[in-house]
Amino acid sequence: MDTIESLAPWFYEFDLGPLGRTESLLPPEVKPIHLTRLEMVRAAIRLHFSPERLREIRCLDVGCHEGYYSVAAAQLGVRDVLGLDIREESLQRARFVTRSLGLPNVRFEQCNAEQVSPARFGEFELTFFLGLLYHVENPMLCLRNMASVTGELCVLETQVIDEVEGFAEWGARKWTRPYQGVLALIDESAEHAAGNNRETGSTPLATCPSPRALEVMLKHAGFRSVEFIDPPANAYEQHARRKRVVCAAWK
């Protein structure tokens, strides 16, 4: 039988009542990232859904990891929650958490973000894409997939790089085009090859956008409007410095 100890190490901290509390493997100074992200996600949800409406909708959490935000959505009152992740070991922890908390309206399936489609999963009024975009090799494909399964609101959180502005030559020296933001290529080969980092993507190559690039990409993916959520007063330092951002993207 699964236990907190047998499923360790944990990435998230869960209070499982009589069963105890999971201990995150993150350093103490980094652990607040999860609470800040959760507070900002809740703020984005409140922009669109009333508490009464939440009880009528479905939520899809892509890259759900151990189910931290899937559980949070269910506890906010969302009627039905589906979490997807590429790693079965993370889903095993997620299922243990939901069983322990008595949340029958949350379920999980193994799936790559590049394979998400309405034909396979249907459409959801609310979707999450949290802490994942900067780990994927094909960000536009993933964002288009998210737009295709989002009925109303997608809440996205990602690391971002510094903004870069300028002009690119476009066929001749006198023909130029302005940048619409930039993407940084991040090589996670060492972590990926070691196999001991459960937070890498499915491939070693990752892409990290600037804020402007993120907004433009979301709109080209099919979202009509994008709003960056302000970090709370007590935010984790990266969110406070806006090196990580939370977006509310509306269809």
Query: How far apart are alpha carbons 26 and 3 in whole angstroms?
Result: 20
H or E segment to which residue 169 belongs: strand 167-172
pLDDT reported for residue 204 = 85
Please list the residues that pair with 221 across neighbouring strands.
none
pLDDT reported for residue 212 = 97
What backbone phi and psi angles, to 5 degrees, belong to 88? Answer: -65, -30
- Token pair of 137 as six digits: 């090799």
Would you state the torsion angle of the CA atoms of residues 173, 174, 179, 182, taken in this order, to the nearest 10 degrees?
0
What interhelical angle do 32-46 and 68-76 show, nearest 10?
40
Query: How far apart are alpha carbons 211 and 232 in whole angstroms?
Result: 18
Per-residue pLDDT of the chain (251 residues; tens, 9 = 90+): 899 999 999 999 999 999 999 999 999 999 999 999 999 999 999 999 999 999 999 999 999 999 999 999 999 999 999 999 999 999 999 999 999 999 999 999 999 999 999 999 999 999 999 999 999 999 999 999 999 999 999 999 999 999 999 999 999 999 999 999 999 999 988 776 656 556 666 788 999 999 999 999 999 999 999 999 999 999 999 999 999 999 999 99
Domains and CATH numbers, the chain: 4-160+209-250 (3.40.50.150)
Going by C-beta distance under 8 Å and a sequence separation of 6 or more, which residues neighbour residue 223? 147, 150, 154, 249, 250, 251
Burial class, 172, CB count within 10 angstroms (exposed 0-12 / middle 13-18 / buried 19+): exposed
H or E segment to which residue 97 belongs: helix 88-101
Burial class, 5, CB count within 10 angstroms (exposed 0-12 / middle 13-18 / buried 19+): exposed
pLDDT reported for residue 39 = 97
Residue with token string 């295709």: 148
- Token pair of 131 as six digits: 């802490």
pTM as predicted: 0.95
